[in-house]
Structure 1
Amino acid sequence: MSVKNTSVDLKFVLASASPARLKLLRMVGIEPIVCKSDFDEDAVRLEDAEELVTTLAKCKAETVAPKFGTALVLGCDSVLTVNDRIYGKPESPQIAIARWRGMRGKMGKIYTGHALIDLKQQRQIIRCGITKVYFADISDRTIEAYIATGEPLNCAGSFALEGKGGMFVDKIEGCHSNVIGLSLPLLYQMTEQLGYNATSFWH
């Protein structure tokens, strides 16, 4: 029977510059060190969404990990699939408009890869969260107005559930925070699996 580490002196590192992921961690009492990964995401070309996001999450975490001695390093990556086609961040407003025209009124899936590296124990856990998202059947005018805000250009799938884009999601099936970019329940499971009490990271 393993004994949980109820008191840990470990830094928690977020290998991402995502404001949404940082906000989620702060919401549950974790104040991470933010260390953006400079990993070139274009270097990874995979056709399977789950394999793609878990590989990218792992690469991001592994790029940042050598900068720290003992820490928990979290890397994440998200994509949207609609009709089995993978969508990351749109490269331009025109692409974002075209994507929304193709996904309105449809169901998509958000895949978020999570890689948690424990430098103290030299262990790592990699998981993927999948959430179904049902998009409203919005008009061309609404799509253009939404893209004009600039919000969709920084988001996988061209929408932010926690922002203006939340108006255009009819319902979700699965983890809410996974759609935003980090599944909090999955993070809890991963820290527990490494032998830590997740509450010990509260500040």
Structure 2
Amino acid sequence: MRLYLASTSPARRALLAQTGIEPVLVAPGVDEDAAVVSAAAALGRDLTGPELVALLAVAKASAVADGPVAGEPVDGFVFGGDSAFEVDGVLYGKPHDPEVARERWRQMLAAGGGTLWSGHCVVDRRRAVDATRTRPGGTGRVDTVPPVRTVDASGGGPLGAAGSFGDVAPGGSGLVGSGDRVVAVDSAVLTFADDVSADEIDAYVATGEPLEVAGAFTIDGRAAAYITRIDGAPSAVVGLSLPVLRSMLLRGFGIAWHDLWAL
């Protein structure tokens, strides 16, 4: 069974590959900044961490699911994901600029840590499925506890299904099903070492590693030595929560994790 990854992230691909899944990588082509600005304007307020990552995960998965890949219709499941790091109520995306990365590290270390929000969306685009199905998984749905909470995406207003995650607390997670998709948010609370020096920050930023990752760090690289504790799924900090993705497929569509293995 094929899994399309609506991302060109090497970290997300590596996470899946190490579990035996070889995804088809597709650049989603989503203007993330524009999507967030539009949603915030419609709401009249800033998006929360869970809302932001869920919104962008849905946008990425939808962009790939609704278009051809290499000239052919999508046939399988499409996964889109997004991440943001929250410190003292402020959401941090990719810093891009070295000085921005340095300042974020100073703020993160002063706070002692923060919450990594990880958004997920899986869209069912299998071509050989029951066309009468009205909910994720249909009769094949696995009724585990807690189940996927079914929602009407239109009830979330400008956020759609992403508007269902207002009650997710740091360290928590949530799953909802809407039509042909399951959307989820997972989180992990991180604690940083309390003795990281300015020289260490400068040396780390100089590597370029933190410039294009959410929060200006990644635990599957040089920053791992500066993080003393993770409360939550470590894979969520890398780019997607493997346990949550497994639950989305199982609870939402009745698909076992090993069904996606590249044997």
Q: 2:99 aligns with which of 70, 84, 94?
A: 94
For the residues of structure 1 that align with 2:245 and 2:18, how far apart are their CA atoms?
Answer: 13
Q: Which moved more, 1:189-198 or 1:139-148?
A: 189-198
Tell me the SS of whatever aligns to 1:182.
coil
Larger radius of gyration: 2
Identity of aligned residues (%): 39
Task: Give me the whole-angstrom Cα distance separating, in 2, the residues matched to 1:155 and 1:91.
Answer: 8
2:9 is the counterpart of 1:18: yes
- SS of the counterpart of 2:74? coil
Amino acid at match of 2:181: Q
- Aligned equivalents of 1:119, 1:14: Cα separation in 2: 13
Aligned-partner Cα distance in 1 for 2:212–2:48 = 22
Instruction: Note if 1:57 corresponds to 2:57.
Output: yes
Q: How much is the aligned-residue C-alpha RMSD, in angstroms? A: 1.2
Determine the C-alpha separation between the residues in 2 that align with 1:152 and 1:135: 15
Match of 1:144, SS state, is: helix
101-110 or 21-30, which deviates more:
101-110
The CA distance in 1 between the partners of 2:47 and 2:75, in whole Å, is 34
The amino acid of 2:115's aligned partner reads K
- The one of 76, 80, 87 equivalent to 1:71 is 76
Match of 1:195 in 2: 254
Within 5 A, what are the aligned runs for 1:1-150? 10-43=1-34, 44-45=36-37, 46-66=46-66, 67=68, 68-104=73-109, 106-120=112-126, 123-137=180-194, 138-150=196-208
Q: Is the 8 A contact 2:96 2:212 kept in 1?
A: no
Q: How many residues align?
A: 194
C-alpha distance in 1 between matches for 2:261 and 2:230: 28
Give the AA of the match of 1:123: D
Corresponding residue of 1:158: 216
Gapped runs of 5+ residues in structure 2? 38-45, 130-178
Deviation, 1:72, is 0.3
Question: By how many angstroms is 1:188 displaced?
Answer: 0.6
1-structure distance, mates of 2:26, 2:124: 16
TM-score (norm 1): 0.92
User: Displaced runs of 4+ in structure 1, greater than 3 A?
Assistant: none
Q: CA deviation at 1:62?
A: 0.4
Please give the secondary structure, in 1, of the residue aligned with 2:216: coil
1: distance between equivalents of 2:21 and 2:255? 14
Where does structure 1 lack aligned partners over 5 or more consecutive residues?
Answer: 1-9
What is the TM-score normalised by the length of structure 2?
A: 0.72
